[in-house]
Amino acid sequence: MARAAQRTRRGGGIRRGEARAGYLFIAPAVIIAAVFLVIPIVLAFWVSLSDWNGFQSPLNPRVGFVGAENYAAITTEEGLDQRNFGRAVRNNFYYVLLVVPLQTALSLFLAVQVNRAVLKGRGFFRTAFYFPSVTSSVAIVIVFQFLFLGTGAVNAVLRAIGVQGPNWFNDPTGIFHGFLTLFGVTAAPGVLADGGMLGVTWWEWLSGPSVAMMVLSFLAVFTTSGTFMLLFLAALQNIGAEVEEAALMDGAGAFRKFFSVTLPMLKPTLFTVLTLGLIGSWQVFDQIYILGGGAPGGTLMTPAYLLYESSFVDLQWGQGAAIAFILFVFIILLTLFQRWLLRDRKPKRRGPAQATVTGGVS
């Protein structure tokens, strides 16, 4: 072995041709990454600074450079484009606010339950909770549309307990606004109607998620909780039974044990799940596309879908690309934040499994 290592370092005849093989082996992956990822991103950045309207190539000489105009149109200049972007940010913000805490709590709960040593049939339960995560978004949306019809299964269940459910996917009412309506408040008080941000008044910012957006959030939780459950499960198995045993022997109750022994040890995974959730929930596109794009009342519109609609439907490619880059920078910042959070805890982590898992997702 030692001799072999020496030979390696010297680089003798046996290693000849290795560099050439190396380039050859890595070439397909590098070429695909360069041609279909790096170069296109540079090209899109140019488009975000140009007035290209989708006609011919964005590199043809008639396309003009407009500087930061596209970015200004959606952020600082008053108008429809700014308001659309503002609304999309608001909608997505409420989506994140609903989805991230719910999916984290639910997946942690499921993992703890499924991890119980005495539980019978946990294979079955894992399968049940994880299955929605592998199914296609198109199929899941169809299922949810069917469940949440005005005359659908969910309303049938609600009727059985005496509640009249809304027409879920077609209801644009913001739930905070809806709640205020119960007290007769239907219009904005002056302060909230005048001021605003991104062309959206404070009153509108405070609308809450629309009923349709609530359903979309349930859908997201339904499809992601299984994945995150597995992350927590891996971490729980690393903690091992002994620590928990010890706590139980000490006479700690189940709740005490969970909050003062298990949860602190899960901290790195908890951070991972929270940040991955944050990163993922700013990228909702599929579901909104399938639901027909932003309806009802534009309350399902997200920045990720708006960038598609601006460019591919409205042919305002510059603005679409500008939204994409704003989103890009924002998500990269979240990713860096996550890496920073997790790097601090590295010495405490056990086993390489977790590192791989996080690497694989992000």
Q: In Å, how far are 4, 18, 224 from 14, measured between CA atoms?
A: 11, 9, 50
- The nearer residue to another protein, 49 or 307, going by C-beta atoms, is 307
- The nearer residue to another protein, 197 or 254, going by C-beta atoms, is 254
Query: Does position 6 bind another protein by CB under 8 A?
Result: no
β-partners of residue 201 are 196
Q: Which of residues 39-58 bind another protein (CB under 8 A)?
A: 39-41, 43-44, 47, 57-58
| SS3 sequence of 275-344 | HHHHHHHCCCCHHHHHCCCCCCCCCCCCHHHHHHHHHHHCCCHHHHHHHHHHHHHHHHHHHHHHHHHHHH
Distance of closest approach, residue 183 Cβ to another protein, in angstroms: 33
Do 147 and 141 meet the contact criterion of CB atoms below 8 Å apart?
no
Query: Does position 328 bind another protein by CB under 8 A?
Result: yes
For another protein, the binding residue among 6, 53, 76, 136 (CB under 8 A) is 136
β-partners of residue 88 are none
Q: Which stretch binds another protein (CB under 8 A): 25-33, 80-88, 176-184, 340-348?
A: 25-33
The distance of Cα 6 from the centroid of its chain, to the nearest Å, equals 49
Q: In Å, how far are 50, 73, 85, 199 from 79, measured between CA atoms?
A: 19, 8, 10, 7
Distance of closest approach, residue 82 Cβ to another protein, in angstroms: 20
Q: How far apart are CA 278 and CA 28, in angstroms?
A: 32
- Look-up: residue for tokens 């790097």? 343
Distance of closest approach, residue 90 Cβ to another protein, in angstroms: 18
Pick from 61, 83, 53, 80: which is nearest to 321 by CA?
53
Query: Does position 203 bind another protein by CB under 8 A?
Result: no
Q: Which stretch binds another protein (CB under 8 A): 68-76, 132-140, 170-178, 260-268?
A: 132-140
Pick from 83, 41, 30: which is nearest to 329 by CA?
41
For another protein, the binding residue among 142, 185, 197, 263 (CB under 8 A) is 142
* Per-residue binding letters, 234-273, with another protein (x by CB under 8 A): x--xx-xxx--x--x-----x-------------------
Binding-site size for another protein (CB under 8 A) equals 118
Q: Which of residues 79-118 bind another protein (CB under 8 A)?
A: 110, 113-114, 116-118
Tokens of 148: 């949440």
Q: Which of residues 154-173 bind another protein (CB under 8 A)?
A: 156-157
Do 287 and 99 meet the contact criterion of CB atoms below 8 Å apart?
no
- Within 10 Å of residue 29's Cβ, how many Cβ atoms? 9
Q: Which amino acid is at 63?
A: V
Q: Which of residues 285-324 bind another protein (CB under 8 A)?
A: 285-286, 289-292, 304, 307-308, 311-312, 317, 320-321, 324
Q: How far apart are CA 302 and CA 306, in angstroms?
A: 6
- The nearer residue to another protein, 193 or 361, going by C-beta atoms, is 361
Q: How far apart are CA 7 and CA 22, in angstroms?
A: 18
Q: Which stretch binds another protein (CB under 8 A): 27-35, 73-81, 162-170, 206-214?
A: 27-35
Query: Does position 353 bind another protein by CB under 8 A?
Result: yes
- The nearer residue to another protein, 200 or 230, going by C-beta atoms, is 230
- The nearer residue to another protein, 185 or 361, going by C-beta atoms, is 361
Query: Does position 66 bind another protein by CB under 8 A?
Result: no
Category of 16 on φ-ψ map: left (φ > 0), alpha (ψ -120 to 50) or beta: beta
